[in-house]
Amino acid sequence: MDADVLKGGFADAPIEAAHAFRAAMTAIARPGKIETLKGAVPPAPMSVAAGTLVLTLCDPDTPVFLAGEWDCQPVRDWIAFHVGAPIVSAAEAMFAIGDWAGLAPHTQFAIGTPEYPDRSATLIVECDALKADGAVLRGPGIKDTASMGLPEVDAFQMNAMLFPLGLDFFFTSGDQVSALPRTTKVEAA
């Protein structure tokens, strides 16, 4: 084990986690809005925002799936040390982290059950950049319409049709985060 994995956690966990949660909550309550999320310094390729989300929301109770390049020893060790979350297969995961291509097929994740739609996965999608313009969003949390750049549109339209089941998405890049819950209706611009 490399000594570097011991670094990069919260310096003041209760306070930093509280600020990080407020940013994450604002993001999911207002789809398309870009928030700043920092505090964690995870090993590459994980972004600061994704690492901060992991420290804020994950613990030994939350199975995590790592996709593609994100499934590497430094990331596994960092999560094991700071969070203690079990690394599992996609179907068992409550949280999944990776880039959009690595997370495919997106039907492999838990979407909840009709009686417990909350038992569904949250995907943390790492992006090169978060763009405020792109697909048109409508739904709860949005006054009229909002817009955000998305890796594709079809997958999110399919996801919204599953409501109240479905997946919830965080998009991360650097220290920025935005979110798209299952309630948001997406249209290509």
Q: Residues in the site for another protein, rule: CB under 8 A?
A: 13-15, 17-19, 21-22, 24-26, 28-30, 56-59, 61-62, 113-118, 120, 122, 139-143, 163-164, 168, 181-183
Nearer Cβ to another protein (68/138): 138
Go through 134-167 and write b for each residue having 16 or more CB atoms within 10 A of its CB, e for each that does not. bbbbebebbeeebbbbbbeeebbeebbeeeebbb
- Residue 24's alpha-carbon distances to 6, 59, 114, 165, 175, in angstroms, are 25, 17, 26, 21, 12
- Residue 18's alpha-carbon distances to 23, 53, 149, 171, in angstroms, are 9, 11, 27, 19
**φ/ψ of residue 128, rounded to 5:** -70, -40
For residue 128, the minimal CB distance to another protein (Å) is 25
For residue 69, the minimal CB distance to another protein (Å) is 26
Nearer Cβ to another protein (72/111): 111
Nearer Cβ to another protein (103/123): 123
Residues β-bridged to residue 176? 36, 173
Nearer Cβ to another protein (10/72): 10
For residue 2, the minimal CB distance to another protein (Å) is 25
Nearer Cβ to another protein (128/144): 144
For residue 148, the minimal CB distance to another protein (Å) is 16
For residue 3, the minimal CB distance to another protein (Å) is 24
Six token digits for residue 1: 């084990």
The answer to whether 95 touches 54, Cβ cutoff 8 Å, is yes
